[in-house]
Amino acid sequence: MYEEGSTVYWIIISSFVMPLFLSAILIWLVLVYQKKKFQSETAAKDALLREQALIIEKQTAIEKERNRISAEMHDDLGSGLTRIRFLSDKALRFATDNEEREEIKKIASHSNDLVRNMGEIIWAMNSRFDNAESLISYMRRFASEYLDENGIDLEFESSENEDNVSLSGEKRRNIFLVLKEILHNAVKYSGASKIIIHINSTPNFTIHIREIGGMGFDPITSSTSGNGIFNMQKRMANVGGTLVFEQTASGMETRVMV
């Protein structure tokens, strides 16, 4: 009887102790797993933070280098080209021979083009202008001056809050050069009396250009669809954008979207 009672006693004790013992082991394993998981997640977060810090450091260094190069170009090359333009204008005033005057005019014209192109490069290089607001202001000024020189009316509209949209120097320059080429084609081939430019910076940066009263062109078959059209499409592809031409009853319409 005593042995049977002892056996029953140990069976009862085991039925309580073993589950507690197994539960303790299970809890210990869970705690060890959670600790390892936390350490692994912490290590991954630390690695990500170090990687992000390195990226930011590289971007900051690139921006500083861009700004340094643009400043040196402005101070050295820009001033030198401006000096050449000034001297050529001065020489033109004192030139008496027609052939000599024509050659000086070519120098003055080339120097003016170089100064203008240099200004565009300096603007694109400076990271201070890496936003939609700067791009829109730059395009508005160029379009106004260029179309006014060629006797074409301009209507320019843009959406609000464009200063919150970031655009890299590469995107800004490619978008601007595409607009420049579109306006050049409109002046040279279209014969439009008015051009309407509408820009929307959100959710995508979109430019809608309408030529009023012009004959437009067929970008596939027209002689104007040579390197100009190809280069524009290539520029848009380089910045993940699209370029669409559409001939309407009122004239050519062009949409640029990045």
Task: Please tell me whether residues 70 and 94 are part of one structural domain.
Answer: yes
Please report the pLDDT score of residue 52 as a whole number: 81
Task: Please tell me whether residues 90 and 181 are part of one structural domain.
Answer: no
What digits encode the pLDDT tens for the residues 189-218?
A: 777 889 999 998 877 889 999 988 767 665
Cβ-defined contacts of 238-241 (< 8 Å, 24+): 238/170, 238/174, 239/170, 239/171, 239/174, 239/175, 241/174, 241/175
DSSP states of 211-222 = EES-----TTTS
Q: Is the separation of the CB atoms in 216 and 252 below 8 Å?
A: yes
Task: Please tell me whether residues 155 and 95 are part of one structural domain.
Answer: no
Structure tokens at 174: 């490619």
At what angle are helices 227-238 and 169-185 packed, to 10 degrees?
160
Q: Which domain holds residue 34?
A: 1-128
> Model confidence at 2, in pLDDT bands (50, 70, 90)?
very low
CA end-to-end span of the chain = 92
Please report the pLDDT score of residue 142 as a whole number: 92
Task: Please tell me whether residues 124 and 150 are part of one structural domain.
Answer: no
Structure tokens at 157: 């509209």
Please report the pLDDT score of residue 148 as a whole number: 92
Task: Please tell me whether residues 56 and 66 are part of one structural domain.
Answer: yes
Q: Where are the beta strands (DSSP E) in the chain?
A: 153-158, 194-200, 206-212, 242-247, 252-257
DSSP states of 148-187 = HHTT-EEEEEE-S-GGGSB--HHHHHHHHHHHHHHHHHII
Mean residue pLDDT of the chain comes to 80
Task: Please tell me whether residues 87 and 73 are part of one structural domain.
Answer: yes
Q: How far is CA 155 from CA 178, 192, 209, 222, in A?
A: 18, 13, 10, 27
What digits encode the pLDDT tens for the residues 38-91?
A: 888 888 888 888 888 777 777 777 777 777 777 776 666 777 777 887 888 788
What digits encode the pLDDT tens for the residues 25-37?
A: 888 888 888 888 8
Q: How far is CA 77 from CA 1, 117, 191, 251, in A?
A: 111, 12, 36, 41
Last residue of a domain, one of 111, 128, 145: 128
Q: Is 148 buried (19+), middle (13-18) or exposed (0-12) by CB count in 10 A?
A: exposed
What digits encode the pLDDT tens for the residues 123-163?
A: 888 888 888 889 999 999 999 999 998 899 999 998 766 55
> Model confidence at 226, in pLDDT bands (50, 70, 90)?
low
CATH number of residue 192's parent domain: 3.30.565.10
Task: Please tell me whether residues 75 and 151 are part of one structural domain.
Answer: no
Please report the pLDDT score of residue 4 as a whole number: 53
As for how many domains the chain has, the answer is 2
Please report the pLDDT score of residue 156 as a whole number: 94
What digits encode the pLDDT tens for the residues 98-124?
A: 888 888 888 888 878 887 888 888 888
80 or 164, which is more confident? 80
Which residues lie below 8 Å from residue 170, measured CB to CB, with a gap of 6+? 124, 238, 239
What phi, psi does 198 have (nearest 5°)?
Answer: -120, 130
Task: For residue 19, say if its preceding peptide bond is cis, omega within 30 degrees of 0.
Answer: no
State the Cα–Cα distance between residues 180 and 188, nearest whole angstrom.
12
Task: Please tell me whether residues 4 and 107 are part of one structural domain.
Answer: yes
> Model confidence at 6, in pLDDT bands (50, 70, 90)?
low
% of the chain surpassing 70 pLDDT: 84
